[in-house]
Amino acid sequence: MGDTFDNAVRGRNGWIRLPLFLWLVWLGVRLTIHPNAPTLFDAITLGIHEIGHVVLGFAGPLLGVAGGSLFQVLAPMAVIAVFVRQNDLFALTVGGVWWSTSLYGVATYLGDARSQSLPLVSLGGGDPIHDWNYLLTRMHLLEMDGFLSGVLRVLAFLLMWSSIAWGGYVLYAMLTRQGRPAPLSSRAS
């Protein structure tokens, strides 16, 4: 990582980010114990999920139904891409945790495909359909809802804790490099 990493963390205040990092750790612990626990990301994620149905609804019923979960997963990825362009290495942690909570949400919805016990939301009113019941039925995979949900939960867990580990590493670097001048090799001439 070398000079590029050093330049990205030097001069950034780790102390300001520490409370956010501790909250993300707490959220990670909470979701590890209770994967269905609500988070502060849920409202924005639900809005994005519903927008996905509207945007991809013009591409036909299959993509329209899949669009909710697809947008829900792609939105945090887009935010991560913005943070990469801004060279904000700590913000990648926030994006990764949001992505993870989104995956936990999709896993919960997917795992409910057969029982259909979750309350559903519909933008246009009327009787909402259960996205994952519809999708898995069309793909003849309805009986695999529990397995697929479990796989997604494992991925969400791994993403959550790798994001938090990354954030801890970046935060530590910010705190230990704070106030130290840039090495001669990275200074402008």
Report d(CA 76, CA 100) in Å as an integer. Answer: 9
pLDDT at 1 over 90: no
* The predicted structure's pLDDT at residue 189: 41
Between residues 5 and 166, the one the model is more confident about: 166
- H or E element that contains 97: helix 91-111
Q: Where are the domains of the chain?
A: 2-180
pTM, two decimals, is 0.88
The Cα angle at residue 160 between residues 45 and 55, in degrees rounded to 5: 25
Q: What is the mean pLDDT of residues 107-118?
A: 96
pLDDT at 182 over 70: no
pLDDT tens digits for range 135-155 = 999 999 999 999 999 999 999
Residue 53 to residues 16, 19, 114, 170: CA-CA distances in angstroms? 38, 35, 21, 36
- Confidence class for position 121, pLDDT limits 50, 70, 90: confident
* The predicted structure's pLDDT at residue 6: 83
Sequence-ordered list of residues with C-beta below 8 angstroms from that of 26, at least 6 positions apart, any chain:
none
- Confidence class for position 82, pLDDT limits 50, 70, 90: very high
Give 186's Cβ-side CA count (13 Å radius): 12
pLDDT at 184 over 70: no
Tell me the two tokens of residue 92. Answer: 């990648």
Amino acid at 64: G
